[in-house]
Amino acid sequence: MSIGTAIVRVPKEAKKGEVIRVQMVITHPMSSPRRDPQTGQEIPPHNLTKLVLFYNDKVVSEMNMGAGISANPFIAIALKVEESGVIKIAYEDNKGGKWDKTAEIKVV
Phi-psi region of 94 (alpha: psi -120 to 50; beta: other; left: phi over 0): alpha
Could you tell me if residue 51 is inside a domain?
A: yes
User: What CATH number should be reported for the domain holding residue 22?
Assistant: 2.60.40.10
For 83, the domain range is: 6-34+43-107
Could you tell me if residue 14 is inside a domain?
A: yes
Q: Distance between CA atoms of 32 and 73, rounded to whole angstroms?
A: 14
Closest CA to 17 of 80, 91, 77, 104: 80
Q: Distance between CA atoms of 17 and 25, rounded to whole angstroms?
A: 25
pLDDT at 9: 97
Per the structure, how many domains does the chain have?
1
Could you tell me if residue 1 is inside a domain?
A: no
**Would the pTM of this model clear 0.95, i.e. be above it?**
no
Q: What is the pLDDT along the chain (108 residues), one digit of tens a residue?
A: 689 999 999 999 999 999 999 999 999 999 988 899 999 999 999 999 999 999 999 999 999 998 889 999 999 999 999 999 999 999 999 999 999 999 999 999
pLDDT at 63: 97
Could you tell me if residue 13 is inside a domain?
A: yes
